[in-house]
Every structure is written in structure tokens, then in C-alpha cells.
């Protein structure tokens, strides 16, 4: 399934994809597995839950290790100081720099919450 997702991205964008693109695809695939597993667990379909969780763990092995929340907070703090961001209007600038600096190593959903908290 992963190879199919990578090929589909190449076809859709009509360019050769980069390592960052592949990591993004893998992250999306892992997230899809976790969401499916959650649905199967709620439905009492334990065999499908176990299958989805196993696939997610296999895919996670191809991703770089995520930074701790403390490390993410430090990076965000540095970016806020560098950019002079001080309101939620500046969130896009902070998130763009954050993605450039640590893409693939940060859970962007968590990072977004930290940035909002920091700029509020």
C-alpha cells in the first residue's frame, strides 16, 4: 500500500518526489492506520484492530524519531524570538519555519497547539 501511495503522489504531482515527500506519505499512512484501528476497536473488531496497529508499527519504523515535547517547545520558542512573532496572526510564519527546520521529526498537530499557546 505504501508503494501505491508513493506512485500515486508521483502521478498526481507529475514530478519526482523527494525524501521529505515520502516521509510525509508514510506519516499520513500511519495516521490512517491509527484512525482505522480506533474505529475497529470501537466496533469490537479486535482482529482488524490488531492488523491496523501492526501495520502502523511497521510503517513507523521508517520514520525518524520524533522530538520530545520539551525539545519542540525550545525550537518554537527560538523561532518566535527570531521572527518577533507575538500574536496568533504570526502563527503561519512560525509554523512554516518550524516545518522547514524539523519536518518529519515533529508531530505538527502538537506543535500547532504549542504555538497557539505560546502566542496567546
Q: Are 76 and 82 in contact (CB under 8 A)?
A: no
Q: What is residue 34's predicted lDDT score, i.e. its pLDDT? A: 94
Residue 49: the pLDDT is: 96
Q: What are phi and psi of 106, to 5 degrees?
A: -125, 140
In this structure, are 80 and 104 located in the same domain? yes
Residue 89: CATH number of its domain:
1.10.10.410
Q: Using an 8 Å Cβ cutoff, are 70 and 111 in contact? A: no
Q: How confident is the model at residue 46 (pLDDT cuts 50, 70, 90)?
A: very high
Dist CA 23 CA 15 (whole Å): 16
Mean pLDDT of the chain: 89
CA distance 15 to 78: 34
Domain that holds residue 78: 69-119
Same domain, yes or no: 87 and 51:
no
Q: Based on the structure, what is the number of domains in the chain?
A: 2
Q: How much is the pLDDT for 59?
A: 93
Show Cβ contacts of residue 22 under 8 Å, excluding neighbours closer than 6 positions.
6
Final residue before a domain boundary, out of 11, 33, 60: 60
Question: Rounded mean pLDDT of 64-87?
Answer: 89
* Residue 87 pLDDT class (50, 70, 90 cuts): confident
pLDDT at 37 exceeding the cut of 80: yes
Amino acid at each position: 500500500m505504501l508503494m501505491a501511495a508513493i506512485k500515486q503522489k508521483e502521478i498526481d504531482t507529475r514530478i519526482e518526489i523527494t525524501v521529505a515527500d515520502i516521509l510525509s506519505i508514510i506519516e499520513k499512512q500511519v495516521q490512517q492506520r491509527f484512525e482505522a484501528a480506533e474505529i475497529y476497536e470501537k466496533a469490537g473488531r479486535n482482529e482488524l484492530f490488531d492488523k491496523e496497529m501492526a501495520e502502523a508499527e511497521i510503517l513507523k519504523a521508517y520514520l525518524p524519531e520524533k522530538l520530545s515535547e520539551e525539545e519542540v517547545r525550545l525550537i518554537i520558542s527560538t523561532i518566535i524570538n527570531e521572527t518577533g512573532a507575538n500574536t496568533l496572526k504570526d502563527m503561519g510564519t512560525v509554523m512554516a519555519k518550524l516545518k522547514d527546520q524539523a519536518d518529519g521529526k515533529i508531530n505538527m498537530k502538537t506543535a500547532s497547539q504549542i504555538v497557539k499557546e505560546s502566542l496567546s
